[in-house]
Amino acid sequence: MGSEGLRILKKFKGASSSSHSVYDDRVTRLEKQLEERDAEAQRRDEEARIRDEEARRTRERLEEMERQMHMFNATYRPSMHIQHPKLPHKFPSWAIWTVWAVGVLLFIVISPTIFHMHI
């Protein structure tokens, strides 16, 4: 029953001879329900307002980040990077085998000194 029904019942409130009539109880109950609905609606409105405010702040932060990123992209140039000297992509196999052989010979010569062994 809406507010129109409550208005009609209020007309009957107090009209009966007994102080606690069925109508009085019904009107009181309906008034209480309307107050609860109003409080619930107010609480939902407040929550919606808070959510909208948080969404607005988040949107502003994202827009600011986009603006900063755009400014960075507008000023950044790849030539600003430090250029490192490039090594050849592949060493010749003879150079690799020579370095390996020298390393093995050095290990054979030096290891007895390190491990106190005699060949």
Whether the pTM exceeds 0.85: the reply is no
pLDDT of residue 86: 67
90 or 10: whose pLDDT is higher? 90
Is the pLDDT at 43 greater than 90, yes or no? Answer: yes
pLDDT of residue 62: 94
Q: Which amino acid is residue 41, in one-letter code?
A: A
Find out whether 13 and 23 touch, Cβ atoms under 8 Å: yes
Confidence of residue 106 (pLDDT cuts 50, 70, 90): very high
Q: Parse the chain into domains and list their residue ranges.
A: 3-83
CB 16 within 8 A of CB 23: yes
Q: Give CA–CA dist 82/104, Å, rounded.
A: 37
Distance in angstroms between the alpha carbons of the first and the last residue of the chain: 109
∠ CA 90-94-99, rounded to 5°: 90
